[in-house]
């Protein structure tokens, strides 16, 4: 068994397993002193992955294949450190299992230059499955963030100035969570909304919303 870990053909798998253990120990130490490595690791993740799960943002279908592939792997959907530990663990165990099985029948190991990239490719579906399972059981932050389109149909109040067609004024609207949003509102037709007037939001514009009178 020890030869399996120390053989040169299994070097990358042994290194991956050691890195996984070191990351776990490091994170435990950081938690003890009241810190975390999560913020540091996030800077290496493409912004599209971190933003794509925000209520106001969707992953652009024109994003690069690499970004879409990382999103498929659930990178960004769970803490980066957790994902990294999953990847290192799965990659190492997958390689060791393949090498041990092959050695059992042939008394030889696959060369490193074959087994290392092959295991990296073949273990990705397992990494995704594990990340998906972790994502389902990890506690998620409660959020009251909404998509701005959800304000359409709600009543707003003009609070500053007069709103004219193509000349919006500031208004406030309360969403379903009781949060107040300050937006720009203009009428759909050539009328004027006076300060203090109640209107109903009907559609988005480039700068705010259009509305009609109540």
What are the tens digits of pLDDT across the range 10-28?
A: 999 999 999 999 988 887 7
Residue-level pLDDT at 47:
57
* Contacting residues for 191 by C-beta, under 8 A, at least 6 apart: 164, 165, 213
| Same domain flag for 29 and 110 | yes
- The answer to whether 193 touches 202, Cβ cutoff 8 Å, is no
Mean pLDDT of 124-148: 77
With respect to residue 143, please indicate whether it lies within any of the assigned structural domains: no
| Same domain flag for 44 and 85 | yes
Distance CA 207, CA 96 (A): 57
- What is the model's pTM? 0.59
Q: Of residues 47 and 182, which shows the higher confidence score?
A: 182
On the question of pLDDT at 201 being above 60, the answer is yes
3-state secondary structure of 64: coil
On the question of pLDDT at 43 being above 70, the answer is no
Looking at mean pLDDT, say which of 5-9, 76-80, 91-95, 139-143 comes out highest: 91-95
Q: For the chain, how many structural domains are there in total?
A: 2
- Any idea what the CATH number is for the domain that residue 182 is in? 2.40.50.140
Q: Of residues 1 and 88, which shows the higher confidence score?
A: 88
| pLDDT tens sequence across 99-125 | 999 999 999 999 999 999 999 999 999
Q: Of residues 126 and 6, which shows the higher confidence score?
A: 126
Mean pLDDT of 43-51: 56
| Same domain flag for 118 and 153 | no
Distance CA 56, CA 69 (A): 21
Judged by average pLDDT, the poorest of 34-38, 58-62, 122-126, 162-166 is: 58-62
Mean pLDDT of 182-194: 92
Q: Of residues 174 and 57, which shows the higher confidence score?
A: 174
164: nearest Cα among 137, 195, 204, 139? 195
* Structural domain of 206: 148-213
Q: Of residues 177 and 184, which shows the higher confidence score?
A: 184
| Same domain flag for 96 and 158 | no
Q: Of residues 48 and 197, which shows the higher confidence score?
A: 197
């Amino acid at each position: 068994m020890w030869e399996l870990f120390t053989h040169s053909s299994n070097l990358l798998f042994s290194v991956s397993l050691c890195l996984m253990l070191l990351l776990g120990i490091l994170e435990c130490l950081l938690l003890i002193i009241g810190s975390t490595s999560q913020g540091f690791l996030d800077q290496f993740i493409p912004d599209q992955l971190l933003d794509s799960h925000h209520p106001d943002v969707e992953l652009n279908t024109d994003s690069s294949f690499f970004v879409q592939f990382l999103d498929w792997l659930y990178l960004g959907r769970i803490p980066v450190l957790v994902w990294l530990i999953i990847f290192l663990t799965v990659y190492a165990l997958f390689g060791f299992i393949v090498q041990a099985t092959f050695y059992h029948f042939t008394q030889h190991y696959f060369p490193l230059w074959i087994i290392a990239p092959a295991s990296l490719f073949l273990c990705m579906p397992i990494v995704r499955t594990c990340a998906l399972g972790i994502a389902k059981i990890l506690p998620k932050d409660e959020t009251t963030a909404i998509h701005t389109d959800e304000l359409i149909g709600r009543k707003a109040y003009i609070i500053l100035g007069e709103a004219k067609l193509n000349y919006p004024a500031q208004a406030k609207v309360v969403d379903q969570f009781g949060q107040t949003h300050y937006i720009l509102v203009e009428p759909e037709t050539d009328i004027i909304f006076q300060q203090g007037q109640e209107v109903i939001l009907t559609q988005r514009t480039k700068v705010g919303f259009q509305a009609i009178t109540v």
